[in-house]
Amino acid sequence: MQRTIRRTLPIRMVALSLLPPPNSFAPKAPFGFGAFVIDPKCRGEASFALHMHGYGAGHDPAPMRDAIRALFDPDTMALICALSLPPAGEHAPAPFPEAYLDIVPRIGLRRNLFAPLPRHILASAGRVGGLDLPEIEPTPLARLGQIGCEAQAAWIFWLQAYCPVNHRRKLLASYLAWRQLQRARLQPASAIRKRS
């Protein structure tokens, strides 16, 4: 069973949602990233980890690049989500944003996948995983608050679009169980705050 999973799924995937730093000619603005790391295991299970970092306007972008590169090893495939406008008329493939080229590492044996997704498609994929994402463009600061959810929704979209049904069901069930555990871990802290 483990052999089948490894043939059809990447050994390790990092789904990235990026709010890239502004270029040197643009006004200073906040930036950051959400990274959802998926390590498939045997029997359709997986381990998950979520990394989110935001940086203030004028902050040096080098720590962001270093934090993203630390998530990659030679067996990692990146799924890079770039929010795009819905196509008007004919559908033309969106070019890879040049701002991302310096941020996403090109190491290892796996290719990186670029997923230009309109916000309403990302929000729809997020609802499958119980994520609440707006369908309209938020401000940069508001977006940093949800960038981890964007990364998870991009992975759910990829799972629905490209994974065989049996793997999709098992991985989605594994993911939903992980989400429940994450919520349970956060719940005691919020209960303590309400009492005081």
- pLDDT for the residue 180: 92
pLDDT tens digit sequence for 106-145: 665 567 788 888 999 999 999 999 999 998 888 989 999 9
Between CA 136 and CA 142, with CA 120 as vertex, the angle to 5 degrees is 35
Dihedral of CA 73/74/76/79: which sign?
Answer: positive
**Over residues 152-174, mean pLDDT:** 92
* 90, part of any domain: no
Interatomic CA distance for residues 20 and 101, integer angstroms: 10
Examine the pLDDT at 164 and tell me if it is beyond 70: yes
* 195, part of any domain: no
> Buried b / exposed e across 129-165, counting CB within 10 Å, b at 16+?
bebebeeeeeeeeebbebbbbbbbbbbbbbbeeebee
- pLDDT for the residue 71: 93
- pLDDT for the residue 11: 77
3 state SS of 113: strand
Domain of 60 in residue numbering reads as 2-82+97-190
Strands (E), the chain: 12-19, 31-40, 46-55, 76-84, 113-118
Dihedral of CA 88/89/95/96: which sign?
Answer: positive
Amino acid 187 reads Q
More confident residue, 137 or 2: 137
* 52, part of any domain: yes
- pLDDT for the residue 194: 57
* 87, part of any domain: no
**Over residues 154-182, mean pLDDT:** 91
* 115, part of any domain: yes
- pLDDT for the residue 90: 47
* 196, part of any domain: no
pLDDT tens digit sequence for 21-32: 988 888 999 999
- pLDDT for the residue 102: 76
Domain tally for the chain?
1
Examine the pLDDT at 1 and tell me if it is beyond 60: no
* 62, part of any domain: yes
Between CA 45 and CA 42, with CA 47 as vertex, the angle to 5 degrees is 35
- Ranges 2-11, 15-24, 55-64: which has the least confidence: 2-11
* 163, part of any domain: yes
pLDDT tens digit sequence for 52-102: 999 999 899 999 999 999 998 888 888 999 887 655 544 555 566 777 777
